[in-house]
A = this chain, B = another copy of it.
Amino acid sequence: MTAADLEGFFADADTLDPDAYLRLDYYLECRGDPRVAVAHFCSEQSTAQWRRVGSGEDLRGEFGAKVVHLAVDATLPEFSYGLKSPGEGEIHACRVRIAHPHRNFGPRIPNLLSAVCGEGTFFSPGAPVVKLLDIHFPDAYLSRFDGPGYGVEGFRDLLGVYDRPIFFGVIKPNIGLAPEDMAELGLQGWLGGLDVAKDDEMLCDTDWCSLERRSALLGAARRSAEAQTGTAKVYLANVTDEVDRLTDLHDLAVENGANALLVNALPVGLSAVRMLARQTRVPLVAHFPMIAAMSRMERFGISSVVMTKLQRLAGFDVIIMPGFGGRMFMSDAEVCRNAAACLEPMGHLRPSLPVPGGSDWAGSLKRVHDALGTRDFGFVPGRGVFGHPMGPRGGAASIRQAWDAIAAGVPIEDHAIHHAELSAAIDAFGSRA
């Protein structure tokens, strides 16, 4: 690129219409002059070639992505992660903010993804190491999306629970049980104090545990638990399946008594989720398979925060995400950023309920609550409820007892003296970090 070519991919942010551009934050390692590299980076994700041969036109003003901030953090001896790029010149670690005109693709999730984390991002010349760190949408863009139909408030309304976290439990064993056995486990969990009993994210509509029979039995068990406890309960059925079955499975599960539906966001696709969100009669809950494959590297891929924002944009009312503790390979700060991305203002979109999960039990509740600094979260043990030595009823009770202790400002060990389920949980799971 010539110096004049370069200039067309840089802009002063103040001169751009803020409604017309997404703001994208990337980490980038590039060889040679960083200004040339980031100009190419903008070119690749927008008007790769901005004029026809023999023409004096310049499409960059209207359609070009533009660098509005560039910081060179360091010079590196080699690219991170053993990645290579041919050529000569020093390697620089950069942070760049790009203003990307959303009229290039419009309010469509697949086309948004193709522009901001597609070929242009990952195949820019001389820049093999790149991560999309964050994405900021102007309200004008967000106004074209419905977002969550229920949100935190709608999900709380379903349960009539406003003053504490929401207690989920993943019915375990997760794979292989008959629907009858699952319904009995779910019932015990609800009777013990769970708000939400859920299918595992891997459990789907199979010949050995059809969604039809499972949702009928768990729907009935939910109503029975509601009658016995006098409180509202949620059966969260996993309808993750081929896209052309989602509507039918929604109808089937909801008619049978499921009152929230689980969808594995990336395996099904965010666009299909947006479609289902337009039709659904119950809240939609996201699970996170495949996201770590793109987000775990510090300096490569697509950040988990971007994926959380996209899930909220697609319309998920509840977002299950990797939680605290070394077990889930995510820093506490990253978990907190993801929870915040669910709850913070985002145009007209309702907040989504964050549910950070991973090997939780009664004893890990305080840490989650303290780290998040809010009661607007879900807590989702599996074995911590269904592997409890007193069974799921005792397991669920241990969670509620832990919350009572936290709310009263009492250490759980003290509270456990007079609460057998909490005491048994500490004995069984207390050696977990």
Contact = CB atoms under 8 A, between A and B. Distances in A.
Grouping DSSP codes into helix (H, G, I), strand (E, B) and loop, the A interface class, with mixed when no group exceeds half, is loop
Interface in A174-193: 174-177, 181, 185
A324 to B, nearest CB: 12
A104 B387 CA distance: 21
Interface in A356-394: 358, 382-383, 386-392
A204 B202 CA distance: 34
B113 A289 contact: yes
A202 B271 contact: no
Interface residues of A, number: 100
Contact of A173 (B47, B109, B297): B47
Q: Which of A87, A268, A386 has the most CB of B within 10 A?
A: A268
Interface stretch (A14-22, A238-246, A346-354, A409-417): A238-246
A176 B114 contact: no
A398 interface: no
B202 A267 contact: no
Nearest to A87: B326
B322 A114 contact: no
Nearest to A269: B269
Nearest to A241: B108
Contacts of A294: 290, 293-294, 301
A382 B43 CA distance: 14
5 contacts: A84-B329, A113-B289, A118-B202, A123-B292, A294-B301
